[in-house]
Amino acid sequence: MVLVLQISNIIITNSKRFYLTLVSCSLIAPFIYTVFFLRLLYPLTILFVLLFHFISFVILVASIILYVNEEKNNKLRFFVPVVSLIFIVLFFVTYKMQLSAANYVFFKYHEEKLNNYLCEIKSYNKIYEMTSTSCARISVNNFTVSDDERDSLKTDKSGKHLYYKKYLEDNGISIVKYEQFNRYLQEMCAGSFSLWNNRFTVVIGGFIGSASGYTYTENESALKHNQKWQKVSNNWYYFYND
């Protein structure tokens, strides 16, 4: 009988530790995801983000209920749910700070690539704007092109070829360089880049009218006033629209 009680106590103790571990992970996971993975995993839809937080919340609630049922200490039965509630409130209160941290983490992860990308675009000096071929609308130097080979003979009203390879050839732009820059955009999950008056901008996310991304400029006064800015490094800024 004594052995059975000892085994029972061990099982209860281990189960309580397990439930507490689940509670802790469920509380910390949303913070870690937001800061370290929200920007890095940008292509994942908002539905995935909501699903992640929903699953974390379900695990949290279930773990708290199971822990409270096992715990005999009334102080701990009260303490764990209260601390959990404080963490939830803290998550929402500090969400903007977490996003700022996420912007910085994403930039540091891609910093070397962004700087090299900027140098190559400036050095090549023939492509000042382009969108990734993964976008619905593909453009080169603000001219909309097609990647469908069936459009190889089509032209616009001014006689410019619509098929991107023909357009690049007509304008003396290297297809190799174009594909290299396109690959850089896709590696960063970016939609487009532009280079105007020594201001280099890479659009990472958002929709029409509410884009977000990173800008390099040595003239801080050139930053648009209708956008929010966060300095992430020397001459580099994260931007998003109001």
Report pTM.
0.76
Q: Which residue intervals of 71-162 are DSSP H helices?
A: 74-93, 95-124
- 152-172: pLDDT as tens digits: 677 776 667 788 888 888 899
- 97-147: pLDDT as tens digits: 998 999 899 899 889 989 999 999 999 989 999 998 888 788 899 888 888
- Write down the pLDDT at residue 39: 74
- Who's near 150: CB < 8 A, 6+ residues apart? none
Task: Calculate helix-pair angle for 2-32, 74-93, nearest 10 degrees.
Answer: 10
What whole-number distance in Å separates Cα of residue 41 and Cα of residue 225?
28
What whole-number distance in Å separates Cα of residue 74 and Cα of residue 152?
76
The region, left, alpha or beta by phi > 0 then psi within -120 to 50, assigned to residue 74 is alpha
pLDDT at 215 over 50: yes
Residue 1: pLDDT band (50, 70, 90) is very low
